[in-house]
Amino acid sequence: MAGKPLGDQHRALLCQGKEDEMEVFGYKAQGLREALCVAGYVLSCGALWLVFYWKPEWGVWATCRPCHLEDADTVLLRTTDEFRGCIRKKVVLLDLSKVLEEEQLDQDFRTDNGCIIRRAVRKPDWKVRYIQVQKIRYVWDVLGQEFVRVGSLEDSNTCHDIHQKFGDGLTRKEKEVRKLVCGPNTIEIEIRPVWNLLFKEVLNPFYLFQGFTLTLWLSQGYYEYASAILILTFITIAVTVYDLRQQSVKLHNLVEEHNKVEVTAWTKQEGAQKMESCHLVPGDVLLLEGQKFSLPCDAILLEGSCVVNEGMLTGESVPVTKTALPHADQATPWKRHSSEDYRRHVLFCGTEIIQTRRAGKGPARAIVLQTGFNTAKGDLVRSILYPKPLNFKLHREAFKFILCLLAIGIVGLVYAACVYAAHKEPVADTVVMALLLLTTAVPPALPVALTTGTAYAQRRLKAKRIFCISPQRINICGHINLVCFDKTGTLTEDGLNLWGVIPCQKRSFQNAHTFSASCPLPWGPLCAAMATCHSLLLLEGKIQGDPLDLEMFQGTRWDHGITVEGSSGSSNFHFALSGTSYQVIKKHFSSFLPKILINATVFARMSPGQKSSLVEEFQKLDYCVGMCGDGANDCGALKVAHAGISLSEQEASVASPFTSQTPNIECVPELIREGRAALVSSFAVFKYITLYALQAFMATALLYWQIQIMGNYQYLVLDGISLAAMITMSLSRACPKLAPYRPPARLLSPPLMFSVALSVGFSLAVQTVGFLLVKQQPWYAQVRSYRGCPSGNQPLLPANGTANATAEEHRVLGYEDTTLFYLTTFDVVMVAFVFSQGRPFRKPIYTNYLFSCLLCLQLGVCFFLLFTDLEAVYRGLELLCTPVLWRVNVLVMLLVKFLVSFFVEDALLQNYGLWLWLKALFRYRPSSHYRRLQRQLEGDASWPPVGRRDLLVTQVKSEAYLNPVYEHHGEEEEEEEEEVPGGKQPRRGLSDAQAGI
């Protein structure tokens, strides 16, 4: 439900306090403003429309004026998370005058004053205003002055209200009104058209800049490389669109059958009627007859009982018994009346009803609680359609890095314009050359390079039977520093073996009784309890139910609260706590929770909601959290984790980014290894393509100083070498041994920034030295035509001394251009080798056979171009022949540069021990929240508060039960200390049973 308007009547909160909370702002469209914007679209050739497409809030501000939400025809929705994403929505009007008259509305809803539909009808025009946000409909509550979610019965209804208001069914008019306002009971996922997917992909800002770059290059006759990049871009976009289309089709097929279920509903005056499930509305009465059918909505069981398979929700195909909602005549809402057990009365959408039991003469009956995307299955589908945005620093910093390159390009644009203007070059040439230097700084092949690296990693994971529906999360796996494991079915086998029981008499534990064929448990209270306290069912001649009940028949549970192993003032301790204790601490002692989580390793009897909450709490501490589970009651945690790995192929686990067909946890280290390799490869490619772009930028800028430029085929050789190296560089496989530390997760981390900065500096130094030194050679001359190779210390002049002076100036030919071409070509190959480090995260470079062979081939081509004296090569590449001694000098400069670069990159920048020493020397402290807490607790002699009872017991006495036998036992016997490195636990166990059972 939306919150009350905040500040003024223009703004309110939608879904306040929930995960999908949003701010909503009211606006009213202005015809004049819209007309001016349309004119702006035309005059700007669509540029203004693109800006509004990328920034919808700007489009709203430009075409609308703020107004009261009650009068708004347009709303602007803004998420309240750190991303602050905005969405523009139109307010839709529903006309109910054809269906209802005033007296009919009052008559149909006279007993339901709390019904939102009654409060949403605007009089006297009988209209309802609503907005559709992420498949959920919100109507405007005229009385409450807020947008309210519809599609379900109000939570304010008591048990008595539900039986009294809806027990006899709805009238036909009530059904019509509810269907109009709430919408059909369908989970409809349209298959997105290819043109729509293509349109959204192409309108990415970088692709548009890439299109501008390639258009400019094609206009200057640079056809070969521009065409190659264009083809690769089309392939990349086509693969992306294909994957998105396949996901859309798969999701559509997953929910399609939900909309075609035939049900029997009971209506007033008409009785039982067969109908399609799409016509169901909240408040309808369902007659549950027969067996083995899927429920098309969420419903509250009114009469009778049902046995349900909730595998769709939990992933566990364990029969669950549902009981009827009691006839309690209280003012307490029905959910609060049933406390945490209200789910035992609810039949969830998508679950299979195995068996129904009559209540008296009639069939079992249920009231439709929620329809469409409001249901449990609808919520699962929505989590796939609208996943939580990724907050990974790599993505944000990559965008900032590209902006930095663009800024460098703009500086180059100004520099080129000034140089060409100073030489009084034509305006057209000045503009073209300035734009060419701008586009040189931002490599158009960058999206292709980053996409190929992720694609290679995804292919390697698929070969290991690990499937990924969110490829961008693969890089995130490389920075995981905490993994939560579900216990039952993940760390342990699905089945249980009964070992024994420990009787309790006279406030103390007795000797354990172990089970064996020759030693059965004697009859007594304990045996009777084990035989009767369970939820097992006899279905189709087989006993079915919870595996714990099935094996142990044990219904007792002991809540031991928080267990601390260790001593105060020591870092060698860890916490183990139950789900109930976790909930109490989170609710009443939230300041203690982060301190406990730092050293907590075992979480027992955690509910699905508690598991999700725990993962989010770890994320708040700046952990990069992985979650591995069997896809049962941990689906929520799998979804919210940075990298969720499901070991199940059940429908409930489809929201997990990763699914392993190998049903054990060996997939976790495999995914971390591949993630680290993919992350390092992404950084290497990013550094390489950035450095190459800046190398070309610097060489071009130096030549611009004397109104020269590299030839098209020279650029083609450079671009071809860099593109081939860039595509094959990411083929390096993950190192089989998992390193004890992670690679940097930030592009702006010191090692990466120093690597790029120093590499650029080394390249600039070599290019500048070569550019200036060649002018000092005794054979140097400014030539404008091919004239063979100079010999000795004499320049090679044409036969006619005036011919060279009067010949048309050549924009490419020159000894400066030839020298820079040789230097840059070799440098591109050398940098590819330097950046392709192997261990500790990837295998050595020689194991990447394609890349290694390619580097050798490219190096051979470079030597051929440097030392060949074929005129065809010179003319084709527009090069000048230089003395052999100068070529050797060029090679010496390159060799020195390579040795320095390799030493700096491998021995200094990638030296993990050196960085640790530097951090210690400068007393660098990590800024992560959990690191700060660890440092704080290390100096706190009173933590953990072992033996203290004043912190918790006095305040939660009414909510937590402490076993007195356990308490006395703990006072008499000292607990054994277990050595666990403080603050460095690599994994957490989320169990739904105590580890000691």
Output b/e per residue, 218-228; b: 16+ Cβ within 10 A: eeeebeebbee
Cα distance between residue 304 and residue 47, in whole Å: 63
State CA 694 to chain mean position distance: 31
Alpha helices, H only, 353-392: 376-385
Q: Give strand pairing partners of 288.
A: 364
Which H or E run includes 992?
Answer: none
Catalytic residue among 112, 379, 486, 992: 486
CB-based contacts of 725, cutoff 8 Å, min separation 6: 688, 828, 829, 832, 851, 854, 855, 858
Residue pair 961/559 in contact by the 8 Å Cβ criterion: yes
CA–CA distance, 941 with 573 (Å, rounded to integer): 13
965: left (phi over 0), alpha (psi -120 to 50) or beta: alpha
Residue 191 identity:
I
**Helix-, strand-, coil-residue percentages of the chain, each rounded to 5:** 50, 15, 35
CA 264, 265, 268, 270 torsion-angle sign: negative
Measured between alpha carbons, how far is residue 684 from residues 245, 446, 453, 696, 828 in Å? 31, 12, 10, 18, 13
Among 490, 493, 494, 447, smallest CA distance to 472 is for 447
**Consecutive H or E run containing 235:** helix 223-256
Tokens matching residue 732: 């390096």
Q: Which residue has the tokens 């025009």?
A: 125
First to last CA, the chain: 42
Please give the DSSP secondary-structure letter assigned to residue 363: P
Question: What does the alpha-carbon distance between residue 13 and residue 16 come to, in Å, rounded to a whole number?
Answer: 6
* DSSP-H helix ranges across 274-392: 311-314, 334-337, 376-385
Q: Is the dihedral of CA 278, 279, 283, 285 positive or negative?
A: negative
Checking DSSP bridges between strand 658-660 and strand 643-646, what pairing results, if any? parallel
Please state, as a whole number, how many other Cβ atoms lie within 10 Å of the Cβ of residue 693. Answer: 22
What is the spatial distance between Cα 645 and Cα 637, in angstroms, rounded to a whole number? 10
Q: Is the dihedral of CA 274, 279, 282, 283 positive or negative?
A: negative
User: Residue 33, exposed/middle/buried by CB under 10 A (0-12, 13-18, 19+)?
Assistant: middle
CA angle, corner 980, sides to 976 and 983, nearest 5? 135
Structure tokens at 934: 């660890």
Rounded Cα distance, 253 and 271, in Å: 34
Question: What are 783's two structure tokens?
Answer: 């030539």
CA-to-CA distance for 700 and 437, rounded, in angstroms? Answer: 7
486 catalytic? Reply is: yes
| Bridging pattern class, strands 293-294 and 86-90 | unpaired
Instruction: Give the containing element (helix H, strand E) for 494.
Output: none
Hey, what are 218's tokens?
């094609």
CB of 56 within 8 A of CB of 86?
yes
Rounded CA separation 950/933 (Å) = 23
Q: Which residues are catalytic?
A: 486
